[in-house]
Amino acid sequence: MSDRPNNSKRALELTGKTIGDYLILRRLGRGGMADVFLARQISLDRSVAFKVLHADLARDNNYVDRFKREARAAAALVHSNIVQIFEVGQHEDIYFIAQEYVAGRNLKQFLMRNGAVEPPLAMEILAGTAQAIQKADEFHVVHRDIKPENIMLSEKGNVKVTDFGLAQVRSDSSDQALTKVGITMGTPLYMSPEQVEGGALDVRSDIYSMGVTAYHMLSGSPPFEGDNPLAIAMQQVKNDATKLETLRPDLPKSLCDLVHRMIEKSPADRPQNAGAILADLKQINIDQDYDLSNVDFRRLKTPLPADGNSQVRKLQLAMEGKAISGPGKRVLSVIGMIGLCLAGWFGGSYLANALAPSDPLKVEQIVESPIPQQESVDKQYESAYWEIYDLEDDQEVSTKEAYWQSVINYFPIEEAGDAANKTELYHRRAKSRLGELYLQEQRFEQAEAIYQEFSNLSDIDKSFRVTGLLGLAVVENNRPADNFEGGVDEQESKIRKLLSEVEDDRGLLNPTMRKYLNQLLIQFPPYQLTR
């Protein structure tokens, strides 16, 4: 079981402390193995990202060995598209990695605020990621967790891959004990079929994850969705993604073809290395294949970087009628289109920084906006699911509640038209999640309202009905017995009646509700249900 409360307490205790050469300033986030802090390296007077192995994992020698081993492997990867590791160390019982701090935002944050991106920017990000993976492959390192959260977009316009904490060094059988520790790790939305099945991994697994990330960038959402990580993982193995050109007819066919080759189920059918992806990207002609009418040229009015060597600056010079000599003329058209998209990105960062309070460490502060509205109810549910999936257990319950409520509030059934049935389904899914949240927080009155509604549904909606019946049983079990005229006997009788209706269809319950059922069956064993 997770030790999150202790880890969270430890994170608070570390803030403001000095660990070796590092002053811990504040926590930036949390990963599967480590908390990440912004720190100041005292000797060099620079900001670093300081990763601390979770306290519960630090007590397990297997995890400590893996943490050290993979950090050393990642430290050998020196490349402009890879977040550089400066030091791997131990201070008393704290195991840490000090690495390059990238001021900016990750691709997930960018997509959440901007939705699908234009092809030139997607190609720029894909190319930077491919170069990072190509470098890792030279050292026989597989990242194993390529996803938008691990692709940083810096304020300077650089693409950097971070968090090689899941990296697996391909070696001989002596390494098997270490690799097995993390064999199920990864993120189902972007996980390759062979990783889902626990098979051997090489660079082609990272290429699959890059392809899913590219699909997400271009379509606005990952190719597969589901109610839980396992359901999504199984789709990675069995299902084919909807064709990108169907979702976005404006995309270059050559770009769509490349992405779909990257997400082929069999590794043998994908590009065999990152270099092949880079070669294919060079062959995509944006001028010929991309419909310029879809580009928002107004974004060029935002301030641009002053660096005369940057791609965006070259575009600005061209628009001002100033000459560009040499090879730049031959690639200006592609650079121009990339620049158009990057201009909006840089301009947004400029304005955000200009309007924000000054930060002595020049750390970008991203102000969270209200829950963003997606283009459809299913996308709203998907967005809520994965945002909440990444939240800490101890973060604001109101935030989680607001995400699920957004599915219902942003897409009223009465306004759904032909999509009314689909909208109603996602409303029920969101309410189901809200019910679980209310049970967890002991807000039984609100939970009861949801489960009472579910319990009245027909057999067509059997999974929601059985969830409603069980939810009511949990609520009744938490009422004081003196609320019942017949006291505890009447209370138990009502709970047993509800449980007897649930038992035959218990397979329709999700894992969270099954846990509640198992807890109740300990109090009310099956042989007593019909007593």
Instruction: Give, in order, the Cα–Cα distances in Å from 430 to each of 217, 259, 380, 475, 487.
Output: 25, 32, 10, 19, 34
Q: How far apart are CA 422 and CA 377, in angstroms?
A: 8
Domain range annotation of the chain = 4-100, 104-292, 295-355, 377-528
In sequence order, the 6+-apart residues with CB closer than 8 A to the CB of 47 are 38, 39, 40, 41, 101, 103, 361, 362, 363
Q: What is the 3-state secondary structure (H, E, C) of 314-328?
A: HHHHHHCCCCCCHHH
- What percentage of the chain exceeds 90 in pLDDT? 24
Half-sphere exposure of 221 (CA within 13 A, CB side): 20
Q: How far apart are CA 208 and CA 197, in angstroms?
A: 14
Q: What angle do CA 387, 389, 394 make, to 5 degrees?
A: 100
Instruction: Look at the domain 104-292 and name its fold.
Output: Transferase(Phosphotransferase); domain 1 (1.10.510)
Taking the CA atoms of 381, 386, 387 and 388 in sequence, report the sign of the dihedral they define. positive
Give me the pLDDT at residue 121, please.
86
Token reading at 18: 């000095």
Token reading at 114: 């901007």
Mean pLDDT of the chain: 75
Token reading at 265: 């189920």
Is 65 considered catalytic here? no
User: What CATH architecture applies to the domain 4-100?
Assistant: 2-Layer Sandwich (3.30)
Give me the pLDDT at residue 237, please.
87
Instruction: Choose, from 145, 163, 206, 378, the residue flagged as catalytic.
Output: 145
Residue type (1 letter), 422: K
Give me the pLDDT at residue 381, please.
87
pTM (two decimals): 0.54
In sequence order, the 6+-apart residues with CB closer than 8 A to the CB of 475 are 439, 444, 447, 448, 451
In sequence order, the 6+-apart residues with CB closer than 8 A to the CB of 368 are none
Burial call 160-198: b when 16+ CB within 10 Å, e when fewer: bbbbbbbbbbeeeeeeeebbeebeeebbbbbbbbbbbee
Q: How far apart are CA 133 and CA 167, in angstroms?
A: 11
| pLDDT beneath 70: ranges in the chain | 1-12, 31-32, 165-186, 286-370, 389-396, 459-460, 526-531
- Count CB atoms within 10 A of the CB of residue 528: 12
